[in-house]
Structure 1
Amino acid sequence: MELALIGAGQRGRIYADYAFEHKRAKITFLVEPDENRRREAKEKYGLDDAHVFTDPADFYKLGKVCDALIIATMDRQHYEHTMGALELGYDILLEKPISPDLDECIGIRDLALKNKCRIMVCHVLRYTGFWATLKKIIDSGELGKVINIQHNENIGNFHIAHSFVRGNWRNSDITSSLIMQKSCHDMDLLTWLCNSKAKSVSSFGELTYFNKAHAPEGSAERCSKCGIMDCRFDARKVYLPIAGNWPATVLSVDQSEESLIKAIEEGPYGRCVYKCDNNVCDHQVAIFEFENGIHASFNLSGFTNRMCRTIKVMCENGEIRGDDEKNEIEIICFTSNWQQEPEVKTLNPDVREGFHGGGDAGLMEQFLDMIQGDDVENLSAIERSIESHVMAIAAEKARVEHRIVEMKELR
């Protein structure tokens, strides 16, 4: 099997490296504008200059030259890059979000269906043992019907500073809203677990903390020039001790101390977190009403120490509590009175290797099996995945316009 990688950043490399290292596929073409990332990926996959490009448009001039594509470019590039691939008849693994623009999402879906191309959107959580087990419990009906859900995405304080204050997804004018970029995963989980489309949503959230109003007196524009010694966001404290690991690996291909210090002194990840050009929320809440009557609250926050998702599913005859970082699911049956001990069952689902609780690996295995011709279900086909984007766009619209948004306004 031969694949082309378009976008050799962190996410694209995770997918392509998995296929390459597990000998499931050859990476025969590479498209990457950044010189350092392009050079490293070219060496990794053993490619010559004729198989390496800086622009997808130049690659597409070759016609259809491999079995499928991995597209992991920036959010607002997805439409152009994906439509070009679909015109050539490619099957695609597409990093989420599909696009920040709903019309573009619909356009990609419609062309894929028209040209009979398969798109697997990287909603990796569907492919984890944890979330698949939770879904199985709900669908079994052992606790009756779902009444309502509380779902939390705990971004982690260091993570929001890295990715959504200093990093690529800091500004919605350049990429997406926070709830789209970070949480279309969670919108997808909710519609999947509820087995229903959303009907309406209200939402609140702001950029409360990571702004100039909270900058310490006397702080500099960059950490390397700042005299505030007790700041936990000092980039030297954040990245140097974890060289060779994420998120330090985002700063530079070369993970030597010298290269990291240079990146901190010159690049975006060395900027003061209170003085960046970020505009996305640092916290947001949303309440969804689903067409089948289920209600769900969603809390997204960068003010947590842990980086995980926690959930409580409240059913007719019991509740389910889950923590994906601990890989623990509790099933609790209701009792007749407060003195009676409830029946509690604790599950620890199987975990695969890799990020997102093994979801990245599970996604790639499913995608490669699908391209190979195996009879597997595309759990995150674009026809399904688009609903999560409708939910995220509606939630952001509700937040900005300070009102309840009916989904029929967008569909």
Structure 2
Amino acid sequence: MQDAWSTYIAERAVKQRHTGRWRHRRTRHPSDGCHDFAGNDYLGLAGDPRLAEAQAAGARRLGAGGRASHLVSGHLAVHEALEARLAALTGRPAALLFSTGYMANLGTLQALCDPDTRVFQDRLNHASLLDGARLAGARSRRFHHGDLGDLERLLARAPHDGRRLVVSDGVFSMDGDVADIAALAAISASHGAWLMVDDAHGLGVLGEIGDGCVGRAHGVERVPVLVGTLGKALGSAGAFVAGSQALVEHLIQFARPYVYTTAQPPGVAAATLKALELLEAEPERRTRLATLIARFRLEATTLGLPLAASTTPIQPLVLGDSERVMRWATRLAERGIMVGAIREPTVPRGQARLRITLSAAHTDADLEALLEGLADCRARESLAGEEAGP
């Protein structure tokens, strides 16, 4: 006889499988020859041997682990140097390291918000932003994706007492489109609200120097709270929040995921410093990435594939039906091509997609293999009489 917990877990598993939402982990071996179009290594830095050597050297010098939280004895000179470098990149007075992007968003929202705070979020914001507002108990409203008029209406109708925070992704992770930061900043300021932007997928890729879609173009006065991650374009791990010195000090005092977490391993911080050095020294990585994006979009459009309107490394192929998405993903996997198969609830019903991501590390042969695989999926679909539209 099963106990209550075993029954609960079993029932949830059955429901997840029945609805076609069961998630699988794929064990990837870098030497298996697979074409990886599923990751977020936009600049190809994750596999750069110079980052690996910097991480190894940092670990040899300072140890494999952080040993304690930043507020006990885990905050080292390499962490201090990395925070200063991230602040300089983003044009902010200060920055604060977190162990993951999820923790950065949770910690920031939990530290800034309470039940008296009104939070206004884009409907397609990352789960960590939505969860952070819930954790804080803030009164949240979600505006239609990218709909500045809807945001304006929500702000105008809400009571004007207390603190207000507008929150948005910079680059939306499932669609690849970029938020209108200038307009968000203007609307927020006109209603006495702060603006918080999670630029996880823009940092390192967008901006004149890789400072993202926010960065120096929109200073701390316009975007007081800027979040960035280090495990995507910068190829290492962790995250940070950048803003005023007062904001960073506030987070040090009140962001529980920061206060109660062991500091980032020093070798990881050393690797990120090397990545920032290469970001500045090798702008050709961003140029190469832009060339690949343009070529992929041109040839995919020629093939008649249903691309979303994205000019970033995230190139969604919206197929609509979850079963159709899984068929295409399986066929590509048989060719040694990995793509993200994204279904509800991650995206709305009817918006299932292949999430294709491009990297400066991709060769022309990699891109040709992807395009050939997609053309084959389309051709086999037509022969089988499958639905061709999303």
**Could you say whether these structures have the same fold, taking a TM-score greater than 0.5 normalized by the shorter chain as the test?**
no
Between Structure 1 and Structure 2, the one with more helix by share is 2
TM-score with structure 1 length normalisation? 0.30
Q: TM-score, normalized by length of structure 2?
A: 0.32
